[in-house]
């Protein structure tokens, strides 16, 4: 996914703008994960690693074993992406492109499919509502 987004940025925006767009996409994905990282640290959850892979960015951490904490950590990544979408509004095509991708990242991560933030949010809410 990450590689495809970078290639798409280069094709859509041209070589220089595409390279800038690709760098901004990578930074945006890391900011999304930094949202999870900040929430985890504030909740006292140990973070093992943050990084990039072919599928995108990732955060490895211990499970908190508390549904409320898991909910907060899960929702902070999409919140970070939505904030990036709002901050990156501008007239430059590369900035507009990256802003739109941040919105796509946020919304796709909210889908309740396995290994997404949305699945973690639904699981946490179900636990909280049935406890």
Which residues, in sequence order, are CB contacts of 111 under 8 Å at separation 6+? 118
**Tens of pLDDT, residues 12-49:** 666 777 677 778 888 999 999 999 999 999 999 999 99
CB 2 within 8 A of CB 53: yes
The domain locations on the chain are: 2-130
Please give, one letter per residue, the 3-state secondary structure of 45-107: CCEEEEEEECCEEEEEECCCCCHHHHHHHHHHHHHHHHHHHHHCCCCCHHHHHHHHHHHHHHH
> b/e map of 117-126 (b: 16 or more CB within 10 Å)?
bbbbbbebbe
pTM for the full predicted model: 0.84
How does residue 67 score in pLDDT terms, banded at 50, 70 and 90?
A: very high
Structure tokens at 101: 């991708």
- Helix axis angle, 15-42 to 93-109, nearest 10°: 40
Q: What is the mean pLDDT of residues 77-92?
A: 93
């Amino acid at each position: 996914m990450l590689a495809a987004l970078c290639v798409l940025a280069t094709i859509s925006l041209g070589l220089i703008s595409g390279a800038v767009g690709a760098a901004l996409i990578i930074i945006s994905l890391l900011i999304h994960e930094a949202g999870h990282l900040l929430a985890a640290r504030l909740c006292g959850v140990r973070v093992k690693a943050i990084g990039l892979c072919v599928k995108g960015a990732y955060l490895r951490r211990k499970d908190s074993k508390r549904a409320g904490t898991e909910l907060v950590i899960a929702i902070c990544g999409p919140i970070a992406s939505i904030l990036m979408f709002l901050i990156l509004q501008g007239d430059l095509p590369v900035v507009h492109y990256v802003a739109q991708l941040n919105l796509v990242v946020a919304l796709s991560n909210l889908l309740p499919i396995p290994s997404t933030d949305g699945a973690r949010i639904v699981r946490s809410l179900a636990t909280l509502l049935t406890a």
